[in-house]
Structure 1
Amino acid sequence: MENSKEMGWNLENSYSRLPNSLFTTLNPTPVRSPKLVILNHHMANSLGFSVEELKSEEGVAILAGNQLPEGALPLAQAYAGHQFGHFNRLGDGRAVLLGEQRSPRGKLLDIQLKGSGPTPYSRGGDGRAALGPMLREYIISEAMQALGIPTTRSLAVVTTGEATIREKVLPGAILSRVASSHLRVGTFQYVAQWGTVEELKELADYAIERHYPELSTDGNQYLFFLQEVIKRQAKLIAKWQLVGFIHGVMNTDNMTISGETIDYGPCAFMDTYDPATVFSSIDTQGRYAYGNQPYIGGWNLARFAESLLPLLDKNLEHALKLAQDAISNYSKQYHDYWLEGMRAKLGLFNIEKDDESLIEDLLNLMQKYQADYTNTFRALTIEIEDESKLFKAPEFIKWKDVWESRRDRQRESKDSSQELMQRSNPAIIPRNHRVEEALEAAVEREDNSVMEKLLNVLSIPYAYTTEQDEYASLPGPACQPYQTFCGT
């Protein structure tokens, strides 16, 4: 396309140089009449794009898959995955990777069109997406970025001018997703199951070069790779837990090698604190409940380690020992990250042996009195008397005295402690009822103002501005119980 260079496209195609079994080259399926719904100006600028050019007719045509930018080599990736514990052969059933954009700062980032039509991996699906779920991913992924949680990003959402048939007729849409890469645990499972050891080595070398170039080539590079992926995932899931985020579908094909959160299907944020909280309509057994997420993370990483066995050592018994030793460190790593984060949420700089008991006592009281997770820490941060039952309970008042005594014993001032709490406790999260309110306005009435206002306040979650107060309010009874859907 002639204007793609002026638009800022600077694509590379490193993934296409991997074994052909890992992908299928194909173009997106054109749509009837694409229309831009939302464009992430900050993301566009950081990628080197001209915002005005992306908004043009030609720019929107590219974001819809109707035209290809110069340098694009569209492909759908193949991968496998344990879905709710069951192993399946999978792949991009409704997405194509245009290529990897080289940003002005030299960073290489995948740009994928999600909802771009059927692929050989669609398994009978239409390869399309509805507007609501694509806007939902846009909102949540950008909120996660602002919260400081590694995540894929959203560049734009366009409508297709075509209907998407699900339980009812819905407006179709395409999301432009940006990621450090779309390499998944399931990508390695796919090659381990159906590829050769040489192909597995090629994939691992590619992942290391792309995400862990600092790894030493002295020693067992693939063991170091495994250890680093474990560390990143332990840190990521701890961050999820610290803000009450529930992914909803932690299949191995939804766990990235880069350590980014990916695939915002049935995700949601917890209101009332309860480790058993589940929102996803398909998670009927609670496999991916809030309290299970750390365990599932370890289970998924064990599957990753299994896929790397041929690279860890030629002797299978020794390879198993190396893998088991690496995985055994996950629980402690996760726990250390979580405990460090919880100390920060309570304004604690130093370490005392009873800190974990102090934290667990608070969480137990929050569960007992059905306290809101985010607002409890918000109230402690800004020292307001919350109107919930928790703050009136004698048990909590006693706990608070113990906590304040604990803070007084550290060298840092109370002001420093509160500053640490403010940096660690978001004043607002994407409340589920607020997200639904924004989606309803955008989808049903083509009114994006509600979504734009929501995105604005979510962009500074630690600011504690008066404009955010209304977004900290809890959902009414009519919004409960809340349930999410995959959006496929």
Structure 2
Amino acid sequence: MPPACPIHDRPREGAAITADELPFSNSFAELPPAFYTRLMPTPLPAPYFIAASADAAALVGLDAQTLAQDDFLALFTGNRVAPRSQPLSAVYSGHQFGVWAGQLGDGRAILLGELPGPQGPMELQLKGAGLTPYSRMGDGRAVLRSSIREFLCSEAMAALGIPTTRALTITGSHQRVMRESVETAAVVTRMAPSFVRFGSFEHWHYRNKQDELRLLADHVIQHWYPELAGAANPYKAFLAEVTRRTAVMIAHWQAVGFMHGVMNTDNMSILGLTLDYGPFGFMEAFDAQHICNHTDQGGRYSYANQVPVGHWNCYALGNALLPLIGTPEDAEEALDVYRPAFGARLDELLHAKLGLFDTREDDGALFDATFGLLQANHADFTLFFRRLGELRLEGGPDGDAPLRDLFIDRAAFDAWAARYRARLRAEHSVDERRRAAMHRTNPKYVLRNYLAQNAIEQAQNGDYAEVRKLLAILERPFDEQPEHDTYAALPPDWAAHLEVSCSS
């Protein structure tokens, strides 16, 4: 991992850093020019500040309040470039909806470089900063609607403890952008230790460029997996670790009811981070076959399919790395970590969600019965697990009412609750201890589509207060926040008609 900036690159003690003083470096630019195109962002007219994440800013040693200042506003809209920045857009390829799509690349994203931070360097990337050589038929811009969704969800997922890229700030402009209708432009500054994807490796494999494939693998191992460099077969070890991280990430998605919507291999992070927030969604009325992406007519990326598709994507990566790994048997062995890694983490998460402190042989059957009950009644996913923490060991229908009322089939719920209570008694569960633990793992607040839509509509009318308010709520998803109870309620009827798609 590159060292933090030297002392002489740091701002003076007590002095406020300016945008021009940011100590950018760019380890990705160490690769040959075939991996990227150097270019400048395309300015937007009259940019304005919308919001910034204090938690994300702290990861690169910045104060979120300064990000609204003119110099940072210009920098993070693409209207100016810091002296030490080396802007570039990366090339990659990928499978989209299971079909090889050929060359893709950063069609509207420009990497400014990386900044040092207390947890290591973070790359900063402008999404929506203008045309690049990889824009294909696109205009290189992002719209306010999708940018608000990405900004809020990136930070909401981080607060939920789910591996994710981060969002530093969001800015806007009244420049018109055409999608299904005329919208306005916005730019999200997003952050990650690296934005290298599965498709970055597929690009060189399908072009039969083994030298470039090896260069990229060595670069990623050197900077982000240095502990693997000494392995007997570092490329096999690399595939195994990426596969493990991917499985763990998807276990977290399933446990919180998150659906990515576009799990193409060009949207899969080599670090096991949730990457590229497009038509995502959080499960409401539970349906394992739910499709959050209106574009996904075949349901490839439904909630239930996320698990096998994640494995399929790892196989695509393994195929790309095969020339380096050596034999199909070695690649298969590396990929075999997926199912046990996913199963172990999901089992751990489900025990926590149900407030079970020990493990019993028939717990799997209880988990299956729980999701069967949710499926049969289409109960709200987030509310069920949150209210489950309030269930008392010695209770009944009256005391269970807030939870029981989520189910159409009350008798089926009562039978399940009796079984669940029997399991709790078997480990001598204590109500208050269990409640506190469950409320630390089952969020009260998630980014429901209708909440995002409310914030978007207000922002489209020039009012950005709801974006900032929603960010503040979602940064504390496990806290009660009684003043914001309405944000944790069942969605209104009109929310059922909201649709999100790949358009942005």
TM normalised by structure 1 equals 0.94
> Are the aligned partners of 2:389 and 2:434 in contact in 1 as well (CA < 8 Å)?
no
Say whether 1:478 aligns with 2:494.
yes
Instruction: Give SS of 2:444's match.
Output: coil
Cross-structure match for 1:101: 115
Shift of 1:392: 5.9
- Tell me which amino acid in the other structure corresponds to 2:420: W
- The question of 1:369 aligning with 2:377 is answered yes
Q: Residue 288 of structure 1: CA displacement?
A: 0.2
How big is each residue's C-alpha offset from its partner over 1:408-440, in whole Å with a ceiling of 9 and x where there is no partner?
222664433222211221112111111111111
Map 1:383-398; keep pairs closer than 5 Å.
Answer: 383=391, 385-386=401-402, 388=405, 390=407, 393-398=410-415
User: Would you say how many aligned residue pairs link Structure 1 and Structure 2?
Assistant: 479
Select 1:199's aligned residue among 212, 218, 231.
212
Specify the alignment match of 2:104 in structure 1.
90
Q: Are residues 1:128 and 2:141 paired? A: yes
Which secondary structure state, in structure 2, belongs to the residue aligned with residue 12 of structure 1?
Answer: coil
What is the one-letter code of the residue matched to 2:123? D
Where in structure 2 are the equivalents of 1:202-351 lying within 5 Å? 202-215=215-228, 217-313=230-326, 319-351=327-359
RMSD: 1.8
Secondary structure of 2:248's aligned partner: helix
Q: Which residue of 1 aligns with 2:62?
A: 49
Note if contact 1:129-1:172 (Cα within 8 Å) is conserved in structure 2: yes
Within 2, Cα distance between the matches of 1:324 and 1:181? Answer: 26
Alpha-carbon distance in structure 2 between the residues aligned to 1:41 and 1:366: 37
Provide closer, same or farther for how the CA distance between residues 93 and 468 of structure 1 changes in structure 2, counting only shifts above 3 A.
Answer: same
- Structure 2 unaligned residues grouped into runs of 5+: 1-10, 392-399
Give the alignment of 1:31-42 within 5 angstroms. 31-42=44-55
Number of the residue aligned with 1:316: none
Q: TM-score, normalised by structure 2?
A: 0.91
Amino acid at match of 1:214: E
CA contact (8 A) 2:60 2:121 kept: no
Give the AA of the match of 1:328: D
Q: Determine if contact 1:64/1:174 at 8 Å carries over to the other structure.
A: yes
Residue identity (%): 37
Following the alignment from structure 1 to structure 2, what is the Cα–Cα distance between the partners of residues 469 and 175? Answer: 29
For residue 329 of structure 1, report the CA deviation from its aligned partner: 2.7
- CA, structure 1 residues 41+106, in 2 after alignment: closer, same or farther (shift >3 Å)? closer
Deviation at 1:61, TM superposition (A): 1.2
Are residues 142 and 487 of structure 1, via their aligned partners in 2, closer, same or farther at CA, if it must alter by over 3 Å? farther
In the TM superposition, residue 332 of structure 1 has moved relative to its aligned partner by 2.2
> Equivalents in 1 of 2:221, 2:435: separation in Å?
40
Could you tell me which of 23, 28, 33 is aligned with 2:36?
23
CA distance in 2 between partners of 1:373 and 1:279 (Å): 15
Equivalent residue letter for 2:100: F
Report the Cα distance in structure 2 between the residues aligned to 1:472 and 1:5, rounded to whole angstroms.
Answer: 39
Deviations 1:313-349 (A, max 9, x none): 2xxxxx1011112223312221221121111101112
Which has the larger displacement, 421-430 or 75-84? 421-430
Compared with structure 1, are the counterparts of its residues 54 and 449 closer, same or farther at alpha carbon in structure 2 (3 Å cutoff)? closer
Q: 1:33 to 1:475 in 2, by over 3 A?
A: same
Query: Residue by residue, what CA displacement relative to the aligned partner does 1:167-210 show, whole Å, maximum 9, x if unpaired?
Result: 21111111111112111000010111225222212111111122
Moved more, 58-67 or 179-188: 58-67
Residues 54 and 63, structure 2, Cα contact 8 Å, conserved in 1: no
Q: Once the two structures are superposed, what CA deviation does each residue of 1:343-398 show, in whole Å capped at 9, x if it has no partner?
A: 11011121111101101111111111121111111111123522535276222212
Gaps of 5+ in 1: 314-318
**Matches of 2:192 and 2:263 in 1, distance apart?**
18
Does residue 431 of structure 1 match 2:448? Answer: yes
Distance of 1:411 and 1:201 partners within structure 2: 55
- What SS is found at the alignment partner of 1:136? helix
- Preserved CA contact (<8 Å) 2:110 2:126: yes
Assess, with a 3 A threshold, how the Cα gap between structure 1 residues 340 and 391 changes in structure 2: closer, same or farther.
Answer: farther
